[in-house]
Amino acid sequence: MTVAGPLVFPGSRVLAGWWQLLAPFQPQALWVAHLLLHRVEALACVSRPRSLDRFARLVLQALTLGHERTLPALEDRLHLGRQTLYQVLRRLQQEGLVQPGPSGEWQPTGLGRHALERDEYPAVGHERRRFYFVHSSAAGRKPHFLDLPDAISAPCVAPDDWAFDVGILQACVRQPAEWKRRWGFPLDVEEVHTIPRVGPPADALEGGPDPNAGAAADEPAAALGLPFPTPIPEPPAWQRVIVDWPEHLLSALVLVAPGSGGERLLGFAAHTEGWVLQAERPAFRLGEDWAEVFPELTEESPEIWQQAWRAWCQQRKLPLAEVEACTLQRHGHRLRVGAGKRLIDRLQAVRSQALRGEVWLLAGSGRIRPAAQLELVSLTP
């Protein structure tokens, strides 16, 4: 578990190495982020197609042969033994594929017949699922869903303003399929169970996913074209409790050119220990709406680069007047610094890597900081 403390960011060489590792993705800009995540565990009603295994299929088929469907009649066809057969039918009943009648006859349900026709059926069940939401400390900003695989992030101590509104998750579930595809929200989740709130209602959602959007997605059977209900038992209250775990993810956020898979922002997991970047595969991908998740990336102020440049020069004891005289210009992943000749000479004297374009700067003071490769150009001809 990560204990709360000062945020640690990688240095110039690490960033340079990361940039090289990320080169196959044709990065255009780089940020380093200490993401705070809500790992929300909730009991979800999940519907996913399940193939009908041969054994179950044949038992179902046996129910359609002949006219008598009592247990003895079925046993005459299957010879499993009455007690075994009863358990087989009970399993199928739990799956909603068969049902016993009042006269002891078993018959396939609509779902069962559907399964027989297509060799698969929508299995509806309860699963405890994990949903990741990016936490933001900015006032008025609600956590946003992030499609993140399990075991990428690590538990951490949450900040003081840590809170999560279950409505955000429920609103995500109600979003249309297109929205879910765009953000990688699991399509098979049809409902998130919760227990009713006691006491004052939660504040209305602001800025999060539209709670009213995508009402059509809330119809599992209809969505699957099934004209019958899919059986699902009611879970007990304790299983409906949602748990919010704070987690931390150090990641490199990379803006890539459109056309390379259509994604605009990729997130790569990294570890502070040894500054290892898992560059083989992005931990998450965001489309062109990535700014909804990370609006701070678009709110970059030139001042932070001034400060970063100033701090870099200060570490190298460069004259403040010459530093202040420089002009800074951001071009993609580069920070073009127009410096006076004397400043460049000084840097040449110390064989600064900045002159070779090997210096990377991180700007800002928040959890997400932009990174730029320093490019020195002389202001004087």
| Residue 138 in contact with another protein, rule: CB under 8 A | no
State which of positions 347-366 bind another protein (CB under 8 A).
none
Q: Which of 54, 118, 331, 341 binds another protein (CB under 8 A)?
A: 54
Query: Please, which residue, 195 or 350, has the CB nearer to another protein?
Result: 195
Give CA angle at 295 (290, 298), nearest 5°.
95
CB of 78 to another protein, least distance (A): 7
The span from the CA of 246 to the CA of 164, in Å, is: 10
Q: Which residues contact 28 (CB under 8 A, 6 or more apart)?
A: 254, 255, 256, 257, 332, 333
**Residue 210: closest CA among 247, 183, 243:** 183
Q: Is 242 in the site for another protein (CB under 8 A)?
A: yes
245 versus 275: smaller Cβ distance to another protein: 245
Interface residue with another protein, options 50, 128, 285, 310 (CB under 8 A): 128
Give the Cα separation of 324 and 306 in Å (integer): 9
> Within 10 Å of residue 28's Cβ, how many Cβ atoms?
14
Nearer CB in complex with another protein: 98/339: 98
Instruction: Please give the residues from 64 up to 83 whose contact with another protein meets the rule CB under 8 A.
Output: 65-66, 71, 77-83
User: Does position 245 bind another protein by CB under 8 A?
Assistant: yes
User: The tokens of 375 are what?
Assistant: 């490019």
Integer Cα distance of 195 and 381 in angstroms: 71
Q: Which two tokens stand for residue 378?
A: 């002389």
Using CB under 8 A as the binding rule, the residues of this chain from 170 to 209 that contact another protein are: 194-199, 202
* Residue (139 or 198) nearer to another protein, CB: 198
From 85-93, 209-217, 272-280, 326-334, span contacting another protein (CB under 8 A): 85-93
* Nearest distance from C-beta of residue 97 to another protein, angstroms: 15
DSSP string, 156-204: B---TT----HHHHHHHHHS-HHHHHHHT--TTEEEE--PPP-SSPPPP
Binding site for another protein (CB under 8 A): 1, 3-4, 40-41, 54-55, 58, 61-62, 65-66, 71, 77-84, 86-88, 90-91, 94, 128, 155, 157-160, 162-167, 194-199, 202, 237-246
